[in-house]
């Protein structure tokens, strides 16, 4: 089982991370992991640079497709993420939503290839449905708050607490993360107090002037 608390930095496809620029984020994560060994820091880089990032610091895929190796074009296979030394994958992110049967298959493939599954849910009803599949993590992310300036832990604290309670009752081994608008140490502290085992962030780090400083500020909210 992956050590918690967990900080996932989803680089998405922002202009700030394209090409070789994602390496700067990986190096910052590596520096901080050596300083804060009780926190798991994971980068989710764009697919073209995944292999390079995985050689620098632990990383996960932004998305996987529910297939085994075969004549597939343009897909990201769980087995390949494993072969490239990835630690796991986001599944069903609000910007890359997939059918429920694909979520189930992806969780099964992650289990088969010893990858950690981080399944995103947009509300508490979806949390309960996904929890029945026993993923490693469920990340609750109200889509209306993603990329905004108000965090889910401030705007919708009840959704985090409810997710934690629901998951505990359905799949005790599954842990809850939260995301959407998380940018400050205080946002993270509140999420942890509500029972989350970590956070999923993007723009708050990607668009920060001081990348390593922004990451470290979030880590301090977990300690």
Catalytic residue among 20, 24, 51, 141: 141
Q: Verify whether residue 93 is a known catalytic residue.
A: yes
Q: How far is CA 43 from CA 6, 22, 57, 134, in A?
A: 11, 9, 8, 23
Between CA 1 and CA 40 the distance in angstroms is 12
Give the number of other Cβ atoms within 10 Å of residue 186's Cβ: 14
Catalytic residue among 63, 93, 126, 217: 93
**No. of H helices and E strands in the chain?**
10, 8
Q: Verify whether residue 72 is a known catalytic residue.
A: no
What letter does residue 161 receive in the DSSP assignment?
H
Omega cis (within 30) before 5:
yes
- Report the candidate in 131, 199, 208 with the shortest Cα–Cα distance to residue 167: 131
Q: Within 13 Å and on the Cβ side, how many CA atoms surround 114?
A: 4
Asked if 194 and 187 touch (Cβ cutoff 8 Å), the reply is: no
Residues known to be catalytic:
93, 141
């Amino acid at each position: 089982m992956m050590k918690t608390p967990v900080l996932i930095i989803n680089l998405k496809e922002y202009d700030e991370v394209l090409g070789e620029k994602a390496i700067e984020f990986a190096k910052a994560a590596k520096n901080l992991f050596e300083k804060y060994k009780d926190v798991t820091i994971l980068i989710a880089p764009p697919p073209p640079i995944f292999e390079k990032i995985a050689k620098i610091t632990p990383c996960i895929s932004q998305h996987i497709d529910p297939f085994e190796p075969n004549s597939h074009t343009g897909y990201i296979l769980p087995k390949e993420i494993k072969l490239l030394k990835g630690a796991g994958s986001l599944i069903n992110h609000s910007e890359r939503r997939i059918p429920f049967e694909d979520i189930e298959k992806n969780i099964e493939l992650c289990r088969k290839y010893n990858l950690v599954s981080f399944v995103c849910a947009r509300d508490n009803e979806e949390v309960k449905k996904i929890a029945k599949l026993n993923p490693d993590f469920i990340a609750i992310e109200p889509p209306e708050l993603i990329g905004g300036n108000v965090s889910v832990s401030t705007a919708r604290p009840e959704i985090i607490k409810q997710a934690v309670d629901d998951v505990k009752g359905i799949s005790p081994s599954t842990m809850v993360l939260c995301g959407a608008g998380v940018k400050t140490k205080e946002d993270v502290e509140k999420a942890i107090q509500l029972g989350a085992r970590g956070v999923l962030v993007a723009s708050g780090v990607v668009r920060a002037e001081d990348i390593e400083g922004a990451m470290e500020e979030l880590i301090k909210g977990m300690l």
